[in-house]
Structure 1
Amino acid sequence: MPTMSTSHSPPPREPATEQISWRSIVRHDLPASLVVFLIAIPLSLGIAAASGAPLIAGLVAAVVGGVVAGALGGSPLQVSGPAAGLTVVVAGLVSQYGWAATAGITCVAGLLQILLGVTRIGRLALSLSPAVVHGMLAGIGITIAVQQLHVVLGGQAQSSLIANLAELPAQLMAHHPASVLVGVLTVVILLVWPRIPRVKAVPAPLVAVVAVTALAAVFMVEVTRVDLPDNPLQELIVPTLPTGSALGLATAVLTVALVASVESLLSAVAVDKLHNGRRTNLDRELIGQGAANAVSGALGGMPVTGVIVRSTANVAAGARSRASTMMHGLWIAAFVLAAGALLELIPMAALAGVLLVTGLRLVQLAHIRTLRRHDELLVYVVTAGGVAALGLAEGVLAGLVLAVGRVLYRLARATVTATEENGVWTVRIQGTLVFLGVASLVRTLRTIPTGAAVRVQLQVDHLDHAAYEAIEDWRRGHVARGGSVEVNRAAFRAALNGDSARPRWLVPWQQRRLVPEPDQRASMLDGIREFEQSADSIRPMMAKLAADGQRPTQLFITCADSRIVPNLITTTGPGEQFCVRNVGNLVPPHGANSSSVDAAVEYAVEVLGVTSIVVCGHSHCGAAAAVLDGSADDGSGLRSWLRHLEPSIRRALALPDIADPATGVRLSPADKLSVANVAVQLENLRSFACVRKAEQEGRLELVGLWFDIGAAAARLVLERDPYLVRADEELATAAAPADR
């Protein structure tokens, strides 16, 4: 039953419990764990060095993150370990309390994370504004980059961004050519290696560190190198309780717990977008991260978080289960114990080069462009600048205060205008009208002359009681002084009750359905009048469409049934969809004397250049029912048109029973016919030369859709059993390869 391209195949059914076969582990997870292990070694050492922690502490965190968080966490494919996002926090704690006390703070922060996960409030960390989160990471990235630039130049990083910038000229004047050469060569390899075809499977950080280390060893370059203890197990630092004010210690614990939690949860959500397997259990993930931090701190290791770079490599390398991240931790432990001397050949400038590039990549242009489109760039800049210049807690707090302030401003913002035309004043109130905007409202209302006729048009998302009272008091006073005021009481009630949060056309449409209008022409004119009165927000867009012409990306072929609203089903707006409607959503084969449909298909493909054609059938289809019961009159135009359904009838008879993917209920014969009919129409589309050519060249996709009217749910039509699949599941499956 060919209906669409193979990219729309159904996702695999997830088992009720996580099952891992040894064959899958050996074939997929073992190779992936080796790739992640090779990436984790240089990153863990570099992050430890940048944080001012013992280098062995970074390796301990990598081992514990892989084994403990991998085994207990809620994200099977997320890799955990020391993260660049906590570098500034850890560096500050080390300078203030020392490393042993910092390990103790890490341990307590892990216990707090476990508590957050057990109480099921850990997911509240995702309520942070994305602008604040990305700004925080950008500020951390800038700080890391400037710090590691000093190490690349052969010097020592300072404690703050301002100090690093102040010392940079002197560092540039100092001559450490060997260190500079090592660092610059590392950065060049990191930037160039991913651009070389057919070698991207080998991680760039591994290539850079190995190549530079080998060159430094061959030419005996005098540079500072990694220094690990001779006996790592005996050199582990036992954590101690920090001394200091209770408030300072509580702030330190809370900072580590929250930053580690937010970074881990955001990373887990991002990893979910890279694959189509089991989704993350956020509460369990927080418990796993907390357990890893508690164990890492107890062993003298660094704080642990979920890390997106290693997680992305894990998914791209083909990992299928949590066995991959657990094995990568075991490989690190084995390597440190058996071959630690090899690590001591690595120049510190090489690790600094890796961290320099990693820090700069935390400042992502894609995030900046997105936040700019959503008018949240200022929050991002303030957070990033605050984190870089003042510190993590201060920068995040500044970003949160600004984000909350902007939300309150938007909530209190209402546009109130009063205009006069032909002796009638029109007051338009748009936005959100609460008590904070009452003063501005009253000032505008008082500009209306005494005794004037006034019409109040309310188009607000919410109206609180204080604003309503202000309007009502003014109305009574204006009427008492000889004026008249026309208001829409239904709109006021909807705004007060919160109903206006729904699409504006929905409430009046529902009311008309419940109370039919006897004069349908008058009802239509009322609807037009209501649309024109509320169309101010879309007039600029419509004017642009009128000037630029239509450029739809989709041809949507569906039934003329009045219950099918294409723009509602697909959440599209003006200019996005070229639509063809007829009885039965039919596309007769090319040359079958259906000039109207032929012209629409050829115009959409050849002139408009649409990238997809959707054929949408639906449940309770009158055309399908008429064909099955033979109710169409002989010789009628309907009977002649429905003859094009005969191939669909033959297809439906050859199919097994079809069930709804959500409920499992078997479809009725008419609904089964409408599903088969979608498949046949897609085949008919391929009888058009322009469609075949565009599809073969990859410029066009054919999609089968079936809309269940009663459930208000869209299903995609497949070419094999189960023939119907939920659109949300299919979307996740189709998106995964592109993300990877």
Structure 2
Amino acid sequence: MQQTFQLADRARSVLRYDLPASLVVFLVALPLSLGIAVASGAPVLAGIIAAIVGGIVAGALGGSPLQVSGPAAGLTVIVAGLVAQFGWAVTCAITVCAGILQVLFGLSRVARAALAISPVVVHAMLAGIGITIVLQQAHVLLGGSSNSAAWDNVKELPAQLIGAHGHGVVLGALVIAILVGWRWMPAAVKKVPGPLVAIAGVTALSLLAPFSDVSRIQLNGSLLDALALPSLPDGNWGAFATGVLTVALIASVESLLSAVSVDRMHTGPRTDFDREMIGQGAANMVSGAIGGLPVTGVIVRSSTNVAAGARTRASAIMHGVWVLVFAVPFVGLVQLIPTAALAGLLIVIGCQLVNRAHIETAHRTGDLAVYVVTVVAVVFLNLLEGVLIGLALAVALTVWRVVRTKIAAEPSGGDSWRVVIEGSCTFLSLPKLTSALAEVPPGVPVTVELSVDFLDHAAHQTIEEWQRQHLATGGTVDIHDVGAVEMHSAVAGPPVRGFTPFDKRSGVVPWSSWQRDDSPSVLHGLAAYQRRTAAVLRPHMQDLVDAQRPETLFLTCADSRVIPNVITSSGPGDLFTVRNVGNMVPAGQRDASIEAAIAFAVDKLAVSSIVVCGHSSCGAMTALLGKTNLGDEHLNSWLAHGNPSLEAFDDGRHPVARSAAEAGFGSVDQLSMVNIAMQVQTLQSHPLARRVNVIGLFYDIPSAGVLRVTPTQIEALADAA
């Protein structure tokens, strides 16, 4: 019975959401599939076949529930080249073999490896394809024929513009105008896909008006007649294999990147990339086997699918069914479409492949050179060479960024000098390093701030040799290891990259973990601070020179195990900290020191919150419970301020104590939490603290975790946020 209800709910969801979405995607896919087939130099109905197979096969087997697959503009240049070199039947065989390779990619679970290709190269590749399409189809729109070489299209374009004639130019320009202006249409109108309106409207106009000289799409029979079997080449197997690999890789990368983009558009199930690869491969095997174009995940159709409200893969599957239902009886209508109208559609598609946001991102991230070089290489060489050149440049740029070192030598006051070395210091940095060190005059005191994440033996040897020579001139050299890698590590073993300097240089771990001699630990700690931390903090401290602007008054216990800035991930100037034994705010006979701190923090510093933070295994709480005898009148006098907390605790009857007991805490920690709750209540009624938010925290030392304490219970900090 439950399964019946689930099936009924699923059917209602499909009818309500996926069915309407599939119709919208079908209307978008139909003209795009025809245009891509024309641009690819393939039979026109090969685009329809690919749309049917992509929708049904990839939709059913793929791992991205809302991605819609079909013929893609990103493969037009590749397919056109293959058709020109091998013919259509062999190109279909290449598609089948590329599909087999994609299935193997998916079965070997290496699909995510395709995402390792730099996105800027992929975006530039698509932009290059877009420019190539525009150059080719501009000639078709103007009444001429395009060339296979982009440079020939560029050279002949001026003459084509001068000699443009015929009604086809008007029809193509009208398609472009409709598609460009469609974005400004009212929302109700935009529910009808722009490409459908443009192609259908211009086709109708060409039939109603006396446009006898208009060239139209030519078909060789019905959809069944378009079905064709692939065939293998008579030779040139190297080029055949290159074509298979190129189609497989480009189709895979485009599909996976499209799936990633689709995942960002909805909150439903995420993509299974290996399954998506298998689904795309299966679709290409079927499409190539029956005479269709190569299939990829298409972002235009997929984004339309999500925007139309699709919930499951049923939408993608049904869109393929609608294309089939249309193509069988009505495919003859395709012959009414003017070629100039499809050329206008393809020009707009090509322009859309040159994405302004991608260019801005490349410029902002310093990858504009990779983008431009890849685009130019794709347009004027070929797609495979362009992508390889782009990848090589992207890798070279990455290597340069990784090994790049910032090295500067400058006077630092008086006769002293300061040498700053930042980044990855390797043998590649030696020319710059030796040049900077040579600027330091002999005999002067020098501080070397070594803020590096990688230091090899060559760089260490250069610095050490310079240090020895400088000391011989009567100067001094003080090396401060500020970064994650220390100077001595270069000779302690093979060089390793340091990533996380969250250790003794941050002042977090105890002295005992890294100090081994009998000298005062605090002096060692201060020296380490001067070497490693001061340089990092210096820029932040400049903003705090004249005044402090803390956001929180942090009242906590004097226990040395509680470090407020670590618990709160804060730094200098964030917390106004007050510490006493037991983190108490005397309620009756008020303490002048505590009162002064509250008054200064609230009235003068305008803090927005007050935090009371207690902790586990608190000695003050242990003494209040009578489990230890402190034997000191001053301590006993101060701990008397905790008697109200002890009375409220009442052997675990306080609601906070019960909540703590349920969480597994012992009596000392229960009293500590009750004490926090009592101090929160005291502050909430304090005349000086009523204007700020009061928060109670409990620091559990064994787990290094923090709980929130309210006047009635304890709760996980994530739940309380």
TM-score w.r.t. length of structure 2: 0.75
CA RMSD of aligned residues (A): 5.1
2:126 corresponds to: 137
**Secondary structure at the counterpart of residue 454 of structure 2:** strand
- Write the letter of the residue equivalent to 1:189: I
Match of 1:34 among 17, 20, 23: 23
Q: Deviations over 1:486-541 (max 9, x none)?
A: 335772256776463225777442445645896759846863674443468xx5x9
Structure 1 residues 602, 485: closer, same or farther in 2, change over 3 A? closer
Is 1:465 paired with 2:457? yes
- Write the letter of the residue equivalent to 2:535: Q
Q: Deviations over 1:319-354 (max 9, x none)?
A: 111111111111111110022123332222222222
- Write the letter of the residue equivalent to 2:499: A
Is 1:156 paired with 2:145? yes
Map 1:597-636 → 2, pairs under 5 A: none
2:100 corresponds to: 111
Map 1:498-517 → 2, pairs under 5 A: 498=496, 500-503=498-501, 507-512=505-510, 514=513
Map 1:214-613 → 2, pairs under 5 A: 214-222=204-212, 223-420=214-411, 421-448=413-440, 453-476=445-468, 478-479=470-471, 484-488=476-480, 491-493=486-488, 498=496, 500-503=498-501, 507-512=505-510, 514=513, 523=525, 527=529, 530-534=532-536, 539=539
Structure 1 residues 412, 175: closer, same or farther in 2, change over 3 A? closer
Say which is worse superposed, 220-229 or 124-133, in terms of deviation: 220-229
1:203 corresponds to: 193
2:588 corresponds to: none
**Secondary structure at the counterpart of residue 429 of structure 1:** strand
Match of 2:38 among 49, 68, 72: 49
For residues 207 and 74 of structure 1, the distance between their equivalents in structure 2, rounded to whole angstroms, comes to: 32
Say which is worse superposed, 466-475 or 160-169, in terms of deviation: 466-475
Tell me how far 1:213 sits from its aligned partner: 2.3
Structure 1 residues 518, 483: closer, same or farther in 2, change over 3 A? closer
1:479 touches 1:485 (CA, 8 Å); kept in 2? yes
**Secondary structure at the counterpart of residue 233 of structure 1:** helix
Q: Deviations over 1:113-143 (max 9, x none)?
A: 1122222222211111222111111111111
2:565 touches 2:571 (CA, 8 Å); kept in 1? no
Structure 1 residues 360, 478: closer, same or farther in 2, change over 3 A? same
- Write the letter of the residue equivalent to 1:334: V
Match of 1:178 among 167, 172, 185: 167
1:715 touches 1:725 (CA, 8 Å); kept in 2? yes
2:673 touches 2:698 (CA, 8 Å); kept in 1? no
Is 1:121 paired with 2:113? no
2:587 corresponds to: none
2:656 touches 2:673 (CA, 8 Å); kept in 1? no
2:60 touches 2:317 (CA, 8 Å); kept in 1? yes
For residues 67 and 41 of structure 1, the distance between their equivalents in structure 2, rounded to whole angstroms, comes to: 15
Tell me how far 1:437 sits from its aligned partner: 1.7
For residues 558 and 19 of structure 1, the distance between their equivalents in structure 2, rounded to whole angstroms, comes to: 57
Structure 1 residues 425, 311: closer, same or farther in 2, change over 3 A? same
1:652 touches 1:672 (CA, 8 Å); kept in 2? yes
Q: Deviations over 1:440-482 (max 9, x none)?
A: 3234435545555443321112112232233334444555676
Tell me how far 1:260 sits from its aligned partner: 0.7
Tell me how far 1:33 sits from its aligned partner: 1.0
Structure 1 residues 401, 202: closer, same or farther in 2, change over 3 A? same
Q: Deviations over 1:424-452 (max 9, x none)?
A: 44332212111222233234435545555
For residues 600 and 197 of structure 1, the distance between their equivalents in structure 2, rounded to whole angstroms, comes to: 55
- Write the letter of the residue equivalent to 2:500: R
- Write the letter of the residue equivalent to 2:424: T
- Write the letter of the residue equivalent to 1:157: S
For residues 129 and 105 of structure 2, the distance between their equivalents in structure 1, rounded to whole angstroms, comes to: 25
- Write the letter of the residue equivalent to 2:486: A
For residues 714 and 148 of structure 1, the distance between their equivalents in structure 2, rounded to whole angstroms, comes to: 65
For residues 202 and 36 of structure 1, the distance between their equivalents in structure 2, rounded to whole angstroms, comes to: 10
For residues 55 and 250 of structure 1, the distance between their equivalents in structure 2, rounded to whole angstroms, comes to: 25
Q: Deviations over 1:67-122 (max 9, x none)?
A: 11111111111111111111111111111111111111111111111122222222
1:587 corresponds to: none
Aligned residue-pair number: 646
**Secondary structure at the counterpart of residue 491 of structure 1:** coil
**Secondary structure at the counterpart of residue 486 of structure 2:** helix
Tell me how far 1:52 sits from its aligned partner: 0.8
- Write the letter of the residue equivalent to 1:372: H
Tell me how far 1:638 sits from its aligned partner: 12
For residues 199 and 70 of structure 2, the distance between their equivalents in structure 1, rounded to whole angstroms, comes to: 19
Tell me how far 1:279 sits from its aligned partner: 0.9
1:224 touches 1:348 (CA, 8 Å); kept in 2? yes
Say which is worse superposed, 99-108 or 204-213, in terms of deviation: 204-213
For residues 309 and 601 of structure 1, the distance between their equivalents in structure 2, rounded to whole angstroms, comes to: 55
Tell me how far 1:170 sits from its aligned partner: 2.4
2:422 touches 2:452 (CA, 8 Å); kept in 1? yes
2:62 touches 2:275 (CA, 8 Å); kept in 1? yes
1:21 corresponds to: 10
Tell me how far 1:276 sits from its aligned partner: 0.9
**Secondary structure at the counterpart of residue 415 of structure 1:** strand
Structure 1 residues 368, 169: closer, same or farther in 2, change over 3 A? same
For residues 234 and 612 of structure 2, the distance between their equivalents in structure 1, rounded to whole angstroms, comes to: 70
Q: Which has the higher contact order (CA 8 A, sep 6+)?
A: 1
Higher Rg of the two aligned structures: 2
**Secondary structure at the counterpart of residue 115 of structure 1:** helix
2:583 corresponds to: none
Structure 1 residues 725, 518: closer, same or farther in 2, change over 3 A? closer
For residues 77 and 715 of structure 1, the distance between their equivalents in structure 2, rounded to whole angstroms, comes to: 41
**Secondary structure at the counterpart of residue 223 of structure 2:** coil
- Write the letter of the residue equivalent to 2:156: E
Match of 2:57 among 46, 65, 68: 68
For residues 157 and 699 of structure 2, the distance between their equivalents in structure 1, rounded to whole angstroms, comes to: 64
Q: Deviations over 1:539-582 (max 9, x none)?
A: 5x998x899x9999xx999997965659986xx9999xx98999
TM-score w.r.t. length of structure 1: 0.73
- Write the letter of the residue equivalent to 1:221: F
- Write the letter of the residue equivalent to 1:431: G
Tell me how far 1:263 sits from its aligned partner: 0.6
Name stretches of at least 5 consecutive residues in structure 2 with no aligned partner. 1-5, 580-594, 627-635, 649-653, 686-690, 709-714
- Write the letter of the residue equivalent to 1:22: A
Say which is worse superposed, 411-420 or 158-167, in terms of deviation: 411-420
For residues 616 and 52 of structure 2, the distance between their equivalents in structure 1, rounded to whole angstroms, comes to: 60
For residues 183 and 673 of structure 2, the distance between their equivalents in structure 1, rounded to whole angstroms, comes to: 50
